[in-house]
Amino acid sequence: MSTIPETVPPAGNPARKPRLWRRILGRLMASILILTAAGYLYLARWSGDGQHPPRGFFSRHEVLAAVLTGAVPLVEKDPPLPPAVELQKEIEYGKVGDRSLHLDLYKPRKLQGKVPGLIFIHGGGWKTGKRQDYRVYTSWFAEKGYVAATITYRLSKEAKFPAAVEDAKCAVRWMRKHADSLGVDPDKIVAIGGSAGGHLSMMVGYSSDDKSLEGTGGHTDVSSKVAAVVNIYGPYDLETPEGKSAGVVRDFLGKNSYQEAPELWKRVSPATYLDENDPPTLIIHGTIDEVVPVEQADRLAKRLGDLKIPFRYLRIDGWPHAMDAAMPMHVYCRSQILRFLKEQVGP
């Protein structure tokens, strides 16, 4: 009668399981330690003064680690309204057929004379997002003395290009039309946006001489020209390989491929319209942006320089797309936008 030696575990012996679980647990603990170390190392770096860019990361994964550990706080999406600011919601700024276009308006409660007006245009790949996403900016700038609006525009699920451009231009015309009652200087209206909103801000700023993009939303008796543009990581030229292949761009244009309608990719690109008559521009872009490559901002800055248009280019090392959702970067961005506004249109 044979016996199985005690030193050889039988098949399926659970003795192996503790070793497997120890390896898994060890890797998990190591990952947690790495994430925590990365996050809190970054926390120690941030001064939070708004005058210097927060030090960046090697990759988007490091940014996520810092966020997950709580080392880098995110902005509050719905901050309380400052006592000195008045909010007017759901104002109709235009109408296309039966479709009403709305904005939320943030104003200082005590206006002294006419002040610059700011039109904020949210991002979201032209297909998502909402105007309330920019309350964190508009309430802050209103507290600083500006009249700030954040707008709804038709998304690509509802209407294709140039609908969103037409709506953004209509918002500028509405503000200019009602400048007296709003306390806004009609010669000091600024378009500001991030990502798709940055693209639309550039389209507003650079294509004011193209009447085919004005649309029928209303107030066609006034100009959609703006005094300055703030572009936060928005695409400048969509005729690049990335722009030609991006699904959100194809959805925005309502086409399956660039080959189907190459003229649309040219018409939707701010690069097509930029000339020496266009307004000063602030560019803010992160170097590890995987959605809109930083080369887009590099090319915009070069072209503005060639045309001798006043501009500032904040090329932020080690920050990804949507970087201003992180509180330290948001503080820096709004501080630098404020500086640019003071330089170009005044306080």
Structure confidence by residue, pLDDT tens digits, 306-347: 999 999 999 999 999 999 999 999 999 999 999 999 999 998
Q: How many angstroms separate the CA atoms of 26 and 220, rounded? A: 66
Torsion of CA 142, 100, 125, 267, to 10 degrees: -110
Looking at the fold, whether 91 and 145 belong to one and the same domain comes out as: yes
Nearest to 153 by CA among 132, 175, 176, 130: 130
Residue-wise pLDDT tens digits, 197-227: 999 999 999 999 999 999 999 999 999 999 9
Cα-to-chain-centroid distance, residue 205: 16
- Which residues lie across from 85 on neighbouring strands? 108
- pLDDT of 19 reads 74
Evaluate whether 292 touches 321 at the Cβ level (below 8 Å).
yes
Average pLDDT of the residues of the chain: 91
The first and second tokens of residue 187, run together, are: 């010669």
- Which residues lie across from 86 on neighbouring strands? 107
CATH number, domain with residue 235: 3.40.50.1820
**Can you point out the beta strands (E) in the chain?**
85-96, 99-108, 115-121, 147-151, 184-194, 228-232, 281-286, 311-316
Helices 196-206 and 163-177: crossing angle in degrees, nearest 10, is 60
Evaluate whether 223 touches 173 at the Cβ level (below 8 Å).
yes
Residue-wise pLDDT tens digits, 14-45: 555 567 777 777 777 766 666 655 555 555 45
The first and second tokens of residue 122, run together, are: 């949210």
Is the pLDDT at 8 greater than 60, yes or no?
A: no
Is the pLDDT at 149 greater than 50, yes or no?
A: yes
On the question of a cis peptide bond just before residue 186, with omega within 30 degrees of 0, the verdict is: no
Residue 247, CA atoms < 13 Å, CB-side half-sphere: 3
Lowest mean pLDDT segment, chosen from 55-64, 93-102, 273-282: 55-64
Lowest mean pLDDT segment, chosen from 24-33, 67-76, 139-148, 171-180: 24-33
| DSSP β-ladder status, 147-151 and 184-194 | unpaired
Looking at the fold, whether 188 and 51 belong to one and the same domain comes out as: no
Looking at the fold, whether 319 and 186 belong to one and the same domain comes out as: yes
Looking at the fold, whether 192 and 298 belong to one and the same domain comes out as: yes
Looking at the fold, whether 136 and 285 belong to one and the same domain comes out as: yes
Structural domain count of the chain: 2
Is the pLDDT at 95 greater than 90, yes or no?
A: yes
Looking at the fold, whether 53 and 168 belong to one and the same domain comes out as: no
272 Cβ partners below 8 Å, 6+ apart?
266
Looking at the fold, whether 37 and 125 belong to one and the same domain comes out as: no
Does some domain include residue 161?
Answer: yes
Evaluate whether 144 touches 337 at the Cβ level (below 8 Å).
no
Please give the residue range of the domain that contains residue 294: 85-344
The first and second tokens of residue 139, run together, are: 């309430």
Evaluate whether 104 touches 88 at the Cβ level (below 8 Å).
yes
The first and second tokens of residue 218, run together, are: 């209303």
Does some domain include residue 59?
Answer: yes
Is the pLDDT at 191 greater than 90, yes or no?
A: yes
Does some domain include residue 258?
Answer: yes
- pLDDT of 27 reads 77
Is the pLDDT at 46 greater than 90, yes or no?
A: no
Count of other CB atoms within 10 angstroms of residue 281: 27
- Sole residue written with tokens 């920019």: 134
Cα-to-chain-centroid distance, residue 286: 11
Q: Determine the residue type at 335.
A: S
Looking at the fold, whether 245 and 196 belong to one and the same domain comes out as: yes
What sign has the CA pseudo-torsion 194, 199, 200, 201?
Answer: positive
Tell me, what DSSP letter sits at residue 74? Answer: B
Does some domain include residue 11?
Answer: no
Looking at the fold, whether 54 and 110 belong to one and the same domain comes out as: no
Instruction: Kindly state the average pLDDT of the residues 236-247.
Output: 97
Q: How many angstroms separate the CA atoms of 176 and 220, rounded? A: 11
Tell me, what DSSP letter sits at residue 324? Answer: G
Looking at the fold, whether 55 and 95 belong to one and the same domain comes out as: no
Looking at the fold, whether 251 and 281 belong to one and the same domain comes out as: yes
- pLDDT of 24 reads 77
296 Cβ partners below 8 Å, 6+ apart?
234, 235, 236, 237, 240, 285
Evaluate whether 198 touches 233 at the Cβ level (below 8 Å).
yes
